[in-house]
Amino acid sequence: MPSFSVIIARSTIALAVAAAASSANGGMDLTPAVSEYVAEGAKFQQLTFQYNKQQIEYEPPTGWKFDGGPKQLHLKPPQKNFAEATIEVSALDKPQPLDENAHKVLKEQILASLPVGSQFAKVEEEATNPVLLNGNESFEVTVSYQSIGEKFFKSALFVNLKDTQLKFRLTARKDDFQALHREFKSSILSWHWRDETEAPAQPGQAGSAATAP
């Protein structure tokens, strides 16, 4: 990861900010406001989302294209056919623990989300707390399947907040998946909550997400 001790420039490009609506309605809004900065000759981007009266900062993988709306951020890695990632939010009526029963439901959910006509679907890996997001537990499941004559892998990382479920999903061909998964998961570690009264975090500053010990 580049050193951020020298930041040559930083500019803010406002795509859309639904702060007023978010404050009024509550919940998380993934419509991004984008900050760009240059460090050691390379350009980086930082996205800001609204969550109730807080802001969330997130640095997508370098070079990945993105677009988003209130409930979903879509990310596309460069020069990788059939590869994509999404960050999605959905409301929770009440806090829901990520216990064994929840794990079973989430595994069924990701298997049910595979493309129509998929074959040989299989759960390849499960992980409890691969990332702790602002102290919240997580659960990740990775499945494999065959579609359009190719073997694919799909991962889904779930985080339950008190009123919102976050889903970090990645789909890619088998040969591309491992490297893209490392990039995507590394970007999740930049996910950072801050109060509106706090000073903005410096780009690249360690945030509230952390890998579990």
What structural domains does the chain harbor?
Answer: 7-211 (3.40.1000.10)
pLDDT digits (tens, 9 = 90+) for 101-142: 999 999 999 999 999 999 999 999 999 999 999 889 999 999
Q: Which residues contact 7 (CB under 8 A, 6 or more apart)?
A: 37, 38, 39, 202, 203
Residue 178 has pLDDT above 80, yes or no: yes
User: How many angstroms separate the CA atoms of 136 and 99, rounded?
Assistant: 13
Residue 191 has pLDDT above 70, yes or no: yes
Mean per-residue pLDDT for 67-88? 95
Mean confidence (pLDDT) of the chain: 83
Phi, psi of 207 (to 5 degrees): -105, -155
Q: Considering only CA atoms, give the Rg of the chain.
A: 17
Give pTM, 2 decimals: 0.81
Which pLDDT belongs to residue 194? 76
Q: What share of the chain is helix, strand, coil (3-state, %, to 5)?
A: 15, 50, 35
Residue 148: burial class (beta carbons within 10 Å; 0-12, 13-18, 19+) = exposed
- What is the predicted pLDDT for the residue at 27? 83
pLDDT at 41: 81
For residue 186, the model assigns a pLDDT of 95
DSSP structure string for 96-113: ----HHHHHHHHHHHHHT
* pLDDT value of position 97: 93
Query: Which amino acid is residue 108, in one-letter code?
Result: E
pLDDT in tens, 151-161: 999 999 999 99
Do residues 141 and 104 lie in contact, with contact meaning Cβ atoms separated by under 8 Å? no
pLDDT digits (tens, 9 = 90+) for 7-61: 323 333 333 333 333 333 458 999 999 998 888 888 889 999 999 888 999 999 9
- Amino acid letter, residue 170: L
Confidence class for position 205, pLDDT limits 50, 70, 90: very low
Q: What is the pLDDT of residue 38?
A: 84
Angle among Cα 78, 86, 108 to the nearest 5 degrees reads 130
Partnered with residue 90 across adjacent β-strands are 165
Q: How far is CA 79 from CA 63, 76, 176, 180, 187, in A?
A: 10, 9, 11, 12, 19
- Strand partners for 207: none
Mean pLDDT confidence for 79-105: 94
- For the chain, helix (H) and strand (E) counts, in that order, are 3, 14
